Amino acid sequence: MLFRVDEAMIRIRAVMAGHEDTVEFVRCLPLVRRDDPCRALKARSAVASSLIAVLELARGGELIAAQTDPAAPILLRTPA
| pLDDT beyond 90 at 74 | yes
| pLDDT beyond 90 at 4 | yes
Q: Are 62 and 19 spatial neighbours (Cβ–Cβ below 8 Å)?
A: no
Say which CATH number the domain at 12 has: 1.10.10.580
pTM, full prediction: 0.91
pLDDT digits (tens, 9 = 90+) for 5-51: 999 999 999 999 988 899 999 999 999 999 999 999 999 999 999 99
DSSP code, position 66: E
Q: How many domains does the chain contain in total?
A: 1
Q: Return contacts of 48-52, CB within 8 angstroms, 24+ apart.
A: 48/3, 49/2, 49/3, 49/4, 49/5, 49/7, 49/8, 50/3, 50/8, 50/11, 50/12, 50/25, 51/25, 52/5, 52/8
Show the domain range for 67.
5-77
